[in-house]
Structure 1
């Protein structure tokens, strides 16, 4: 017992106070993240949209994420991560408040695009902040701490969102607005005068250095991000078709679905920091990424077998394990590939890979579920993830990170 406790303590050692404060901001922000898991159910149950319409609206969600990720990286390199994060969180509040008023397919789709674009400007700026405030040897664990906060919020948010949705779906939008408001207040209070540990060095203070790579013409990084996009095409069924699967096949209500999705966040909060601390010095980045992606594939293959609600929780546990082994190291690879002055572009490009998957993943998932059934969907999702696993095995060895 003592040794297990010591492993937990060691996994958190060396993390800066700023890393903890960033995690606190993310916790508050993501506790308010109630819309995403219930958006498909909201459009199906409340608005009466077809699965094709749901897929298209969720595709607009992805398109907004693409634009926000690229624009957020561009803004971060020019204005700094603090201003970009604050602006994004402030601007998103009124959008959440007015969203319930848009109830037709023609009006909701562009509003979802706008909302997601503004919200996802935050992501590359936040990723750069984590790297700037972390010690170089603790970058992966700093990202894991941030993700732990995200998932703790995600474990609370869906459960709370399921309760609010049982009263009225409108309340999940208001809950998101409240979460963003509290998060931006805490962020500005703690970070308005805080000095970064790894602030960019002024050019005149340095000797001439080789020209830094361009994120969008770095061939190996482009291929890596294509593979991240392929991974996300399978993985992100978690946020689009998986809640519909629980509703259509297992007849779970909003509260039960919220608890099941929240279980994923709970698992990640408990185990991610320890798991990352254990594997990062024992296995290569390539080994961790390959096995993590393959484990994620297994979780979707498991959904083709029906052993009841306990089986669903087991599949979610496996999915969460694969996520813990994959996503923190994707961020680490991206920030290590970047130069000193273009971290925003590299993190923005990596965020864009996930955002691009959000365009096609929901539509492809809902199309397969509607026309071929959920069994075909889960088989395709698992196969897609296995393909990404093989791709990571090939590309990471060539990136030498």
Structure 2
């Protein structure tokens, strides 16, 4: 046991102090984001919106995410990642405590658009900060530590959230979310103030930066990632409704199942990524593997006669997430060296925003029209499309390397 623990903690060696502070801020913030997994249930069961209405509210949520990610990427290049993150954390905290008082449909759509736009302004800024605070050789592990913090927060959040709903109601969730966002922002002013810390990334950025929209492999990669996002986010919107309606699980039990996702990531992701990082597989190959695992997990949900499949499905999807997201993040960060990092990471974050725009609503609408099983089959079809796009990206990257190698080969005299 001591050897296992020693090897586990050894995977964290060499990460900068700033990365640890950034991860702690993320942990505090995400631990409070416990309302998100219960949002669809809150809107449907507590405020009595139809499943179709919930889908449209989640689309407004996704549109806000899309706009916020774009704006955050732009502002990160203009005023710097520190100010963007701080602004995002403090105002998100205030908005969480305001949105809980909204009950009408259109006001709810507008409120969640504003809330998530402000919240997701910080997403590309966090990536730029991580890149700045991490040495090039440590970036995959730094990304994994940040994800560990996110999922440690999410593992505690749903469990605590389910308890709070059962004991104090949904209002308590919004207050806790708001307060933790503000606390994370205040901590940041003390430990990551630009006057007190230094950047560690010494990699050279190209003099004439490329626009991400002109980077064809990158854009295809983002389309595939958006499809992957549509697939994965079902575990935090339509799948909880599946748990509730098909297996009649209570909110606290649903919270425990969702918390399993975070617990597995905390225990296994860093050693798994540290091991895979030493292998010869590319970032794209690892992303493909994780995508397929997550997609396959929905096949298990077609079997509705044993409640144990929901746990097995969550485990398989979680390992798919553990493999795909760190390496897809790493690919985006590496590719961002071709241009302005804020713009590259902003559009990277926007791919997940697109998933929120279409994923929640499409899932809800298919469920309402055709049922859960049709939804899971639809998601498997999206998995195959995303796999094909990533396969094309892999071929294009191989062609790029070949072209670069040929351009560097000196021409022989005849």
> Match for residue 128 of structure 1?
128
Residues 159 and 262, structure 1, Cα contact 8 Å, conserved in 2: yes
Residues 291 and 389, structure 1, Cα contact 8 Å, conserved in 2: no
> Match for residue 176 of structure 2?
175
Residues 31 and 156, structure 1, Cα contact 8 Å, conserved in 2: yes
Residues 200 and 341, structure 1, Cα contact 8 Å, conserved in 2: no
Consecutive unaligned residues in structure 1, runs of 5 or more: none
Of 191, 196, 199, the residue aligned with 1:196 is 199
Larger mean Cα displacement after TM superposition, 285-294 or 34-43: 285-294
> Match for residue 355 of structure 1?
353
Say which SS state the counterpart of residue 212 (structure 2) adopts: coil
Per the TM alignment, residue 6 of structure 1 is displaced from its structure 2 partner at its CA by 4.8
1:222 aligns with 2:219: yes
Larger mean Cα displacement after TM superposition, 14-23 or 111-120: 14-23
Residues 235 and 381, structure 1, Cα contact 8 Å, conserved in 2: no
TM-score relative to the length of structure 1? 0.95
**Quick check: which has more Rg, 1 or 2?**
2
Residues 74 and 342, structure 2, Cα contact 8 Å, conserved in 1: yes
1:253 aligns with 2:257: no
> Match for residue 239 of structure 1?
236
Residues 162 and 254, structure 1, Cα contact 8 Å, conserved in 2: yes
Deviations 1:155-191 (A, max 9, x none): 1011111111222111111110011011111111100
Residues 156 and 259, structure 2, Cα contact 8 Å, conserved in 1: yes
Residues 267 and 320, structure 1, Cα contact 8 Å, conserved in 2: yes
Residues 86 and 187, structure 1, Cα contact 8 Å, conserved in 2: yes
Aligned equivalents of 1:140 and 1:306: distance in 2?
A: 38
Say which SS state the counterpart of residue 9 (structure 2) adopts: helix
Consecutive unaligned residues in structure 2, runs of 5 or more: 402-414
Per the TM alignment, residue 232 of structure 1 is displaced from its structure 2 partner at its CA by 0.9
Deviations 1:370-394 (A, max 9, x none): 1111011111112212321232122
1:150 aligns with 2:155: no
> Match for residue 283 of structure 2?
285
Larger mean Cα displacement after TM superposition, 382-391 or 104-113: 382-391
Say which SS state the counterpart of residue 100 (structure 2) adopts: helix
Larger mean Cα displacement after TM superposition, 320-329 or 160-169: 160-169
Aligned equivalents of 1:35 and 1:212: distance in 2?
A: 39
> Match for residue 268 of structure 1?
265
Aligned equivalents of 1:341 and 1:368: distance in 2?
A: 39
Structure 1 stretches of 4+ with a deviation exceeding 6 A read: none
Residues 235 and 385, structure 1, Cα contact 8 Å, conserved in 2: no
Of 297, 300, 304, the residue aligned with 2:298 is 300
Per the TM alignment, residue 398 of structure 1 is displaced from its structure 2 partner at its CA by 2.1
Deviations 1:236-272 (A, max 9, x none): 1112101111111111111111111011011011111
Larger mean Cα displacement after TM superposition, 192-201 or 164-173: 192-201
Deviations 1:340-373 (A, max 9, x none): 7611111110000000110011111001111111
Aligned equivalents of 2:306 and 2:28: distance in 1?
A: 33
> Match for residue 139 of structure 1?
139
Residues 288 and 326, structure 1, Cα contact 8 Å, conserved in 2: yes
Residues 369 and 377, structure 1, Cα contact 8 Å, conserved in 2: yes
Aligned equivalents of 1:219 and 1:284: distance in 2?
A: 18
Aligned equivalents of 2:72 and 2:212: distance in 1?
A: 14
Distance change (3 Å), C-alpha of 1:174 and 1:199: farther
Per the TM alignment, residue 211 of structure 1 is displaced from its structure 2 partner at its CA by 1.4
TM-score relative to the length of structure 2? 0.92
> Match for residue 381 of structure 2?
383
Say which SS state the counterpart of residue 303 (structure 2) adopts: coil
